[in-house]
Structure 1
């Protein structure tokens, strides 16, 4: 597997956290499964799938559903199963906490637990970008295509507000900061802060904080499979094992004991790339 994470253009850094590209040919990588359990992430994404299409199996559905070439992923708190095909090449735009809300200009609660063909949200220019990405000379060229498109959008965006900076602080602290401190950073009452966060994040800030802590823990396990879950829970800001297990069951749908080192070694471990 090959992957690279790019820091966005300085003018985009209030909007985009990072741009990542990852590629794997499962026909040439023995022992690596193309089926991946993707647990919820605190990031909001637009992803271009430039080789085989992605297929997604959601809880309660009977079969995988093939997605479009470019997918916008809303706030989620349930794990899904991905079929990544035989040849996988993806470019992922990971937004700042309120970045996707600022770009799309819709409340994130309206796309909660959903994903969309990005053309429905941003128009047919996505087709042109997709073709340019497929014809790019290299990955750096692909990133420049995305940055050029987003830079044209920046002047149309609403300015960053104190509440947006407060949400960035929530991420930077790993979800370990009080709601009162965040409301103060946002220059809002606690109730106003909760309402603004739900609009921008698609979920209340306390739930988002839980999701951040869980994601940090899961990312650590993917990076260091031999670490025990107890070590990881402690390093991720959990004060006791029961809170960690409760969050794990909520967001992953299983308990930590169901995930073993062998399973992690046999997947491509997207969370260490995308989060």
Structure 2
């Protein structure tokens, strides 16, 4: 059976880290069949502390991933994930501009990539993996990760107006659909005293995606979360809750981000805890 735990960060990491999570499963292949990954907005560091998961495409057999990976947003489907043996993962999930603020890591060009984390962040991340592997439980792992991140806070870039505006896009009740409105981008540029071109460039540097695509993925992620909360709800209701203007836009995005219509994708998506 697959078990999932998550917890928010301490206040000092707010605006940089979204949450910590852990997935564990003995003999995972018996409980979680191989499945195709959709496009996704998450930015995270994932530590594989048991058997490595395997990722491939339709044209290649799944291969074991590195012990620690840095994953940027993915804008298209096509990757197939396979879990074998005893799976034990610990994940640091970041806010949209968190990696840029904490590590000074420009994200432009990293979309649709998963990197060996030491190549991007240095070998200290491997020492953290060793501490996580020795930690006796989830709470101890969170404490290890919090201490490691806290050591880097002093050098973190302070939040500015753009970070605040990007964070506001994912605040419940803000209306994800509004985030794709060109008028909203123009308004942000005026608020910051920037040109729209400069805003667009900075947005990609900090999040890895242009504002319009970021907004579409945000709506799609909201759709998956709405379905997880109420799987029996009709698609029309889920789409409206997620911020879509109508069902046709929802269907278009689902096909673009999963390769399937919404009904087929949501019915087949495995229960891995939080989507």
TM-score greater than 0.5 by the shorter chain: yes
Residues 208-217 or 71-80, more deviating = 71-80
**Which residue of the partner structure matches residue 171 of structure 1?**
170
Contact 2:224/2:266 (<8 A) preserved: no
Cα displacement (A) at 1:187:
4.5
Cα-Cα RMSD: 2.0
**Which residue of the partner structure matches residue 67 of structure 1?**
65
CA distance in 1, matches of 2:131, 2:210: 38
Residues 96-105 or 238-247, more deviating = 96-105
Bigger RCO of structures 1 and 2 (CA < 8 A, at least 6 apart): 1
CA distance in 2, matches of 1:185, 1:81: 42
Residues 48-57 or 252-261, more deviating = 252-261
CA distance in 2, matches of 1:174, 1:215: 13
Are the structure 2 counterparts of residues 83 and 206 from structure 1 closer, same or farther at C-alpha, using a change threshold of 3 Å? same
Matched, 1:256 2:262: yes
Are the structure 2 counterparts of residues 122 and 52 from structure 1 closer, same or farther at C-alpha, using a change threshold of 3 Å? same
**Which residue of the partner structure matches residue 11 of structure 2?**
10
Contact 1:170/1:182 (<8 A) preserved: no
User: Helix, strand or coil for the counterpart of 1:203?
Assistant: coil
Are the structure 2 counterparts of residues 232 and 26 from structure 1 closer, same or farther at C-alpha, using a change threshold of 3 Å? farther
**Which residue of the partner structure matches residue 52 of structure 1?**
51
Contact 2:32/2:83 (<8 A) preserved: no
User: Helix, strand or coil for the counterpart of 2:240?
Assistant: helix
CA distance in 2, matches of 1:58, 1:166: 35
Are the structure 2 counterparts of residues 58 and 186 from structure 1 closer, same or farther at C-alpha, using a change threshold of 3 Å? farther
Cα displacement (A) at 1:63:
1.8
Alignment equivalent of 2:235, drawn from 225, 229, 246:
229
Cα displacement (A) at 1:7:
1.1
Q: Unaligned regions of 5+ residues in structure 1, if any? A: none
Contact 2:251/2:261 (<8 A) preserved: yes
User: Helix, strand or coil for the counterpart of 2:20?
Assistant: strand
Cα displacement (A) at 1:33:
2.3
Contact 2:4/2:21 (<8 A) preserved: yes
Aligned residues: 266
**Which residue of the partner structure matches residue 20 of structure 2?**
19
**Which residue of the partner structure matches residue 199 of structure 2?**
193
Residues 5-14 or 182-191, more deviating = 182-191
Residues 172-181 or 96-105, more deviating = 172-181
Cα displacement (A) at 1:38:
2.5
User: Helix, strand or coil for the counterpart of 2:232?
Assistant: coil
Cα displacement (A) at 1:157:
1.4
**Which residue of the partner structure matches residue 119 of structure 1?**
118
CA distance in 1, matches of 2:192, 2:92: 26
Q: Deviations over 1:52-90 (max 9, x none)?
A: 10111236x422121011110012112222112222111
Q: Deviations over 1:159-197 (max 9, x none)?
A: 111101110011223523332344345443332221110
CA distance in 2, matches of 1:120, 1:199: 19
Are the structure 2 counterparts of residues 195 and 131 from structure 1 closer, same or farther at C-alpha, using a change threshold of 3 Å? same
Cα displacement (A) at 1:206:
1.0
CA distance in 1, matches of 2:118, 2:143: 20
**Which residue of the partner structure matches residue 239 of structure 1?**
245
